[in-house]
Structure formats: C-alpha cells, structure tokens
Amino acid sequence: MAAPELSHPLPSTRKRLTPAHRWWWKFQRISGVVLVVLLFAHLFYNLVLGDGVNQIDFAFVAGKWAAPLWKWWAFALLVLAMLHGMNGMSYLVGDYARSQRTRRFLNALLGAATAVIVVLGTLVIFTFDPCPQGADASLLPSFCAEVGK
Ligand code: HEM
C-alpha cells in the first residue's frame, strides 16, 4: 500500500510576529544545541560506561539519582526535550492545520500533554525513594544497608 501523500504546508496567515514568537524561535535553536549535549552524556553514561545497558536496574537509577548533578541533569533533559518537542509540533500544527479552531485545539492538547508529562516526570525525579521500606535488599543500592534503612 502506498504511503499517503502529505499536502504542502499552507501559506502563512500570520499578520505579524509577536515577541513571544521570536522568543520561541530562539528557544528552539538554543535548546536544540543544549539537548545534544544533555542527551549524549545521558546515553554515554547509561549505555557505554560500565556494563552498558545490562547495568540498568533499580539500584543503578537509585545510585545515579543520589547525586544532585544527575537529578538536575534528568530534570533539564525532561523540561527541554518536552518544550522543544511541543514547540516543534506546534510549528507543524501551524503549517498544516486548516482552521484557527483546529490550530487552537491541537495546540491546547499539546500544551496539556506537555504539562502532564513535565509534572509527572519532575515528581518521579524529586520524590524518588532509593531505599523503599520492605523491598528486597538485593535489589537496592548498597548505601541503603549502610544507612540501616
Ligand atoms: C537507549 C536509550 C536510553 C536509555 C538506555 C535511557 C535510560 C535511562 C535511565 C536508566 C534513566 C533513569 C536514570 C537517569 O537519569 O539516567 C533515564 C531517565 C531519563 N531519560 Fe533516558 N534513556 C535513553 C534515551 C533517552 C532519550 C532519547 C531521552 C530524551 C530525548 C531520554 C530522556 C530521559 C529523561 C527526561 C529522564 C528522566 C526521567 C523522569 O523524568 O522520570 N532518555 N533514562
């Protein structure tokens, strides 16, 4: 079966660029560059160093997030990747949605999905308990035994 044809982007109906549009244009370029650094360090640490993908389990994540640097690293990756993806999708909506109503609806959906994922992801990072009570000790990082939890 042939792939569906994608129609050409619609000509712009925007009358003028607001300061917010300019801000997002710059944000998209700067966050793109920052994301390359954040993501490759993330992948290098998780996949190349040590045992690679085999090392990833609960204790690995707990050990990593015991260091504030990696917590903030994950947070920066989460927020920038979500905002970059949201804004990029919103450019597509602007290019292809035919009516103002559809554009508004899709952009609202994008904003809501982004907000939910950023809030849930942030909660995971900052409320994460590395030594949950009653868990099998062999699955926990070694420092849980040291602090007697
Ligand atoms: C094979 C590729 C990948 C592996 C094995 C992997 C693995 C992991 C692991 C083990 C964690 C938890 C500990 C940590 O912060 O490192 C994590 C968290 C995270 N990863 Fe990745 N990752 C991969 C690709 C990506 C990509 C492509 C992105 C974004 C574009 C990403 C974004 C994130 C974010 C935002 C978090 C924090 C999660 C949260 O908010 O709860 N990862 N990843």
Tens digits of per-residue pLDDT, 98-111?
899 999 999 999 99
Answer yes or no: is 22 within a domain. no
Answer yes or no: is 111 within a domain. yes
Answer yes or no: is 139 within a domain. no
Instruction: Tell me the mean pLDDT in the region 52-71.
Output: 92
pTM attached to this predicted model: 0.87
Atom of ligand 1 nearest to the CA of 121: 40
The CATH number of whichever domain residue 99 belongs to comes to: 1.20.1300.10
Answer yes or no: is 101 within a domain. yes
Contact 106, 93 (CB under 8 A): yes
Answer yes or no: is 148 within a domain. no
In this structure, the residues whose C-beta lies within 6 A of any atom of ligand 1 are 39, 42-43, 46-47, 53, 56, 61, 64, 70, 74, 77-78, 81, 121, 124-125
Query: Token pair 């609202």 is at which residue?
Result: 108
Answer yes or no: is 142 within a domain. no
Give the pLDDT band of residue 147 (cuts 50, 70, 90). low
Tens digits of per-residue pLDDT, 123-140?
999 999 988 888 888 888
Angle of the 19-43 helix axis to the 68-96 helix axis, nearest 10: 130
Range of the domain at 58: 28-129
Phi-psi group of 75: left, alpha or beta (phi > 0 → left; psi -120 to 50 → alpha; rest → beta): alpha
Residue 95 confidence (pLDDT) above 70: yes
Main-chain dihedrals φ then ψ at residue 29, nearest 5 degrees = -70, -45
Q: How high is the pLDDT of residue 33? A: 98
Residue 112 confidence (pLDDT) above 70: yes
Q: Domain tally for the chain?
A: 1
Main-chain dihedrals φ then ψ at residue 129, nearest 5 degrees = -105, 110
Answer yes or no: is 115 within a domain. yes
Ligand 1 mean position, distance from CA 59 (Å): 15
- Residue 65 is classified by DSSP as T
Atom of ligand 1 nearest to the CA of 128: 41
Tell me how crowded residue 127 is: count the other CB atoms within 10 A of its CB: 7
Which range is least confidently modeled, 10-14, 86-90, 141-145?
10-14
Residue 62 confidence (pLDDT) above 70: yes
Answer yes or no: is 21 within a domain. no
